[in-house]
Amino acid sequence: MSMIRKMTVLTACAVLLAALPAAAAETIKIGAVLAVTGPAAFLGAPEAKTLEMLAAQFNAAGGIKGMKVELLIKDTAGDAEKALSLAKQLVEEEKVFAVIGPSTSGESMKIKQYMDENATLLISCAAAEAITTPIMKWVFKTPQNDANAARWIFTDMKKKGIKKIGVLASNSGFGKAGAGQLEKLAPEFGIEIAISESYDKAAVDLDAEVTKLKSKDVQAVVNWSIEPAQSKVPVSMRKMGWMVPLYQSHGFGNIKYAEAAGPAAEGILFPAGRLLVADGLADSNAQKALLLKYKKDFEAATKEAPSTFGGHAYDAFTLLAKAIEVGGPDKEKARAALENLKGFVGTAGVFTFSATDHNGLGMDAFELLTVKGGKFVLAP
């Protein structure tokens, strides 16, 4: 009897053990705080779509280091207070591993201290240099530095012998930061900014502002903005018959902006990531393959041409994935791995981080582009 009892118990145990569900596949939670709707939606919407696309791709290929990616995208509608609230929610409630975003500089400035204090990686898709200067241990960003964009513009101006310029910047964080960089760096290149004005990022028409610049007889104009309204500056200028060289920032990196300006866009010079001219790159270029793939995937997923804005999210995600692969699902180790990444190919450029550089991109992340025949091409 006791033998049968023993056997019954053992069998029961065996059955129970077999019936236990296989250990659930591990997931890694990645949060994103983006301006999917609202006044910065032209940034957040492509960023969100890019992240969703990448998460699906990674999961189809087995996830990151065998862990399934659970992507949590929260919409801030461009509101900094909401960004903070949602970031706190993601970190404390959802216990995400890292946060990608926000889309705008203002939102990033508001949450970076919190992220740093709570030892969670923040990889921002916003451009302001102030995000990574001074360095905070846990805060990184993927867009190129506006200072370098300014240097590209000034280098070209110096080559062309331009000495006196006018600056128009939008009143967003991006515009303001850019105008600041231009003012700071102009003396280094012997260039005088005769007039610098900012315009509302939702401006209906910019004829008056452009006329004011024209009255100062400048030799070139820099239009620094990331919003759709920037297309109105070339239109106003060319319509008035004012044909001086027009430079724009890397915020012009969306073919729709060139289309909106129509023939006025011809000849605009601007520094940008190579994503926009991927087809025209030499095959030996380290970024070409990646750029073409992103372009193809994005167009297939969204039926739109890719912009450099979505590319910043692409870089944030792939960098994070690499950091986790190298350092494992441990926050501190992944952070250290990210900080030590060198030569990582992304859409914005080739990233090389260090303890003193949490942006990882230098002057060579840009190319000088121009608009020819309504398309972006490398400037001669």
Applying CB under 8 A, which residues contact another protein? 36-39, 41-42, 45, 74-75, 77-82, 84-86, 88-89, 92-93, 105-106, 109-110, 113-114, 117-118, 128, 130, 134, 168, 171-173, 175-176, 197-200, 202-205, 207-209, 211-212, 214-215, 228-229, 231-232, 235, 238-241, 256, 260-264
| Shortest distance in whole angstroms from residue 46 CB to another protein | 10
In this structure, which amino acid lies at residue 56?
Answer: A
| Shortest distance in whole angstroms from residue 194 CB to another protein | 15
| Shortest distance in whole angstroms from residue 244 CB to another protein | 14
Q: Would you say 325 or 357 has its CB closer to another protein?
A: 357
| Pairwise CA distance, residues 258 & 333, whole Å | 43
Q: Would you say 30 or 168 has its CB closer to another protein?
A: 168
| Shortest distance in whole angstroms from residue 201 CB to another protein | 8
Residue reference for tokens 């939102």 = 107
Q: Would you say 184 or 239 has its CB closer to another protein?
A: 239
| Shortest distance in whole angstroms from residue 373 CB to another protein | 14
Q: Would you say 201 or 312 has its CB closer to another protein?
A: 201
| Shortest distance in whole angstroms from residue 265 CB to another protein | 9
Ordered alpha helix ranges (H), the chain: 2-19, 41-60, 80-88, 105-117, 146-159, 173-185, 207-214, 232-239, 255-261, 288-302, 308-327, 331-339
Q: Would you say 64 or 235 has its CB closer to another protein?
A: 235
Across 288-314, b (16+ Cβ under 10 Å) vs e yields bebbeebbebbeeebeeebbbbbbbbb
| Pairwise CA distance, residues 191 & 184, whole Å | 11
Residue reference for tokens 């200028």 = 237
| Pairwise CA distance, residues 157 & 159, whole Å | 5
Q: Give the chain's end-to-end CA distance (angstroms, integer).
A: 94
Q: Would you say 64 or 233 has its CB closer to another protein?
A: 233
| Shortest distance in whole angstroms from residue 209 CB to another protein | 5
Eight-state DSSP code of residue 164 = E
Q: Is the dihedral of CA 376, 168, 210, 220 positive or negative?
A: negative
| Pairwise CA distance, residues 9 & 89, whole Å | 47
| Pairwise CA distance, residues 313 & 309, whole Å | 7
